[in-house]
Amino acid sequence: MSHMAEDLRARRAAHLLDFVHRADRRLRGPDQLRWATLLRAETGGLDSAIRWSAEHDPPLGLRLVAGLSTYWWMHGLRGDAARSARCVLTALGPQVPEGLSEEYLLAVLLAAGQQDDSGFDLAEHVEQAALVVQSLDEPFTHPVTLLLWSIVFGPFVAPGQVADVLARNTTSLDPWALAAIELCAGYPRLTGSDPDMSEKALQEALAQFRLIGDRWGVSLALSALAELAAWSGQLGQCQELTGQALAVTEELGADEDSSLLLCRRADLHLRLGELLAARRDYQRALQLGNAAETCAAARIGLARAARYGGDLPAAREFALAALDGCPGSGELARTEALGELEAIATAEGDPVAPATPGGSRRITGRWLESG
């Protein structure tokens, strides 16, 4: 490529970075749908700029990835986020560029936020990211960093460390960041707070996100409140809150998040014996979602609904499809699918032979065989 062409690519990438920064500030407010549409229109150019930057200017690529993190996660594009982050991290190696520690942390969070079968080794990057978090003594510069760290890494550290990171960010001047602190403080089991404290924090987060005009934050708060209601046995309230969260993700056009919420609501329908409603939500989840884990969950749900309704051939077909579609990293989904196939075999009166650990598995007319 000629020097002039390289210069044009560099200028284009720098221009897109400026656009991304302008859009990012507006994605967390009432005008987020318009700015999301503008970003979506630049998808091809942004992808090209990230790939070019990874090869020729990795720090620029890191800034692009960090700037797009809110957009990607807001719209359920975790796979796109992970692929772009891994592309830049591969070029950088496990070293933090000077002055870009938080951007590096965000890239690691994005890469870790979606499992895949690429074989990309995150271990050294995760270690570096942990050091970044320990070294920061001021609020994060990117408001979304706190939320993504809490979601991706928070469940794997002690509740006290989560509380410390949240407390470190309470001096932020960004209203969205303060709402995110309440949201993270209210997530069940994340900070060790009791159900009453969690509900209070989540209700506060919901009110703040609504005041700001951020639909994504509203959907996250509603979804967390629904989870809290389910744990306390309030299934009707859980259904209502999940439906509200679903309406917001549909307005955002976040198909993957909508697919996940549909699966959750369908699970509730199953628990309540509402088989038709459950099937309807699972089918719609399959239509909207592309993530292998969510599609597997929807097919497993359809298998259960069919089994509960007495249609064992259909149940087996859905369970087989779920097993077929399980990603290599989706061990939980694989276990669920195998468990459902065992339940179907029991209902059919077939003798059950335990699946052989390791290797892929396929179904014969009677049961599972290693293949």
CATH number for the domain spanning 59: value is 1.25.40
| 206 and 167 both lie in a single domain | yes
- Residues 144 and 207 placed together within one structural domain of the fold: yes
**Is the same domain home to 85 and 165?**
no
Tell me: do 8 and 125 sit in the same domain: yes
Q: Which of 207, 181, 185, 206 has its CA nearest to residue 194?
A: 185
68 plus 102 within the same structural domain: yes
Q: Identify whether 291 is part of a domain.
A: no
Calculated CA dihedral for residues 160, 162, 168, 170, nearest 10 degrees? -110
CB distance 282 to 295 below 8 Å: no
Q: What is the pLDDT of residue 328?
A: 64
- Using alpha carbons, list the distances in angstroms from residue 25 to 1, 14, 146, 319: 35, 17, 16, 44
Listed residues 83, 104, 136: the one ending a domain: 136
**pLDDT averaged over consecutive 10-residue blocks of the chain (371 residues)?**
76 96 96 97 97 96 98 95 96 93 98 78 93 92 97 93 94 97 90 89 98 98 96 94 98 95 96 96 95 92 97 96 79 90 90 36 26 25
- pTM given for the model: 0.89
Instruction: Decide if 108 contacts 122 (C-beta within 8 A).
Output: yes
Residues 146 and 71 in one domain: no
Regarding whether 101 and 162 lie in a shared domain, the answer is no
Q: What is the pLDDT, as a whole number, of residue 326?
A: 79
Which one, of 332, 309, 305, 335, lies nearest residue 318 by Cα? 305
Based on the fold, state whether residues 131 and 155 are members of the same structural domain.
no
Within 10 A of 369 (CB to CB), how many other CB atoms are there? 13
For residues 1 and 107, membership in a common domain is answered with yes
Residues 80 and 6 in one domain: yes
Question: Looking at residue 360, what is its pLDDT?
Answer: 30
Residue 90 sits in the same domain as residue 150:
no
Domain finish residue from 149, 179, 213: 213
List pLDDT tens digits, range 259-307. Answer: 999 999 999 999 999 999 999 999 999 999 988 889 999 999 999 999 9
pLDDT score for 118: 67
User: For the chain, how many structural domains are there in total?
Assistant: 2
Residues of the domain holding 8? 1-15+43-114+121-136
With beta carbons less than 8 A apart as the criterion, state whether 333 and 321 touch: no
Q: For 291, left (φ over 0), alpha (ψ -120 to 50), or beta?
A: beta
Q: Are 65 and 109 in contact (CB under 8 A)?
A: no
Residue 237: inside a domain? no
The pLDDT of residue 59 is 97
Among 182, 213, 244, give the residue marking a domain's end: 213
Is residue 89 domain-resident?
yes
Q: Is 172 left (phi over 0), alpha (psi -120 to 50) or beta?
A: beta
Contact 343, 329 (CB under 8 A): no
Identify the pLDDT of residue 80. 94
Specify if 358 maps to a domain.
Answer: no
Q: Same domain for 125 and 144? A: no
The CA-CA-CA angle for residues 279, 281, 283, to 5°, reads 65
